[in-house]
Amino acid sequence: MEKRDFYVTVDPSRAADLVMDEISRSVSGRLVDHYTRNCGHRTSVVLVMEKYFMRTGNRATLTLVADNFEGKTKVHLTGSGGGEGAFLRFDWGAGASFSETGERACTVSDPAG
């Protein structure tokens, strides 16, 4: 499992769109669920995405939570799954790779990133 936290200058919805667009470029990448909650000027977006990784022979998930509760957009990414078998959690770097792709999508497209 790989977790990443970082701030971006775009709003939470735009951060989610950037990650979703990048994951969708992969043939096996897909959006599983998308949830947005607005309260005044504050927004929270949750995405659950999955992608097949050949190196593990399994699908991995990437969960994104983006919010602007602190007055700036914070993005939290968790790459998980992809481990082999029922008890082995080692994913050969699939979770880290998936999280890195999500972070890169947000920060490369962010003028301040």
Number of structural domains the chain divides into: 1
pLDDT at 37 over 90: yes
Q: How far apart are the first and last CA of the chain?
A: 24
The pLDDT assigned to 23 comes to 85
Q: Please list the residues that pair with 65 across neighbouring strands.
A: 46, 76
Over residues 53-81, the pLDDT tens digits come to 766 667 788 899 999 999 999 999 988 87
The residue among 29 and 7 whose pLDDT is bigger is 7
Supply the CATH number for residue 97's domain.
Answer: 3.30.310
Give the range of the structural domain holding residue 14, as residue numbers without chain letter.
2-108
Residue 38 within a domain = yes
Question: Which residues have C-beta within 8 Å of that of residue 24, sequence separation ≥ 6?
Answer: 30, 31
* Dihedral sign (CA 26, 106, 74, 45): negative
Distance CA 56, CA 90 (A): 9
The pLDDT assigned to 24 comes to 84
Residue 113 within a domain = no
* CB 49 within 8 Å of CB 62: yes
Residue 22 within a domain = yes
Residue 59 within a domain = yes
The pLDDT assigned to 35 comes to 96
Residue 46 within a domain = yes
Mean pLDDT rounded to a whole number for the chain: 80
The pTM of the full predicted model, rounded to 2 decimals, is 0.76
Residue 100 within a domain = yes
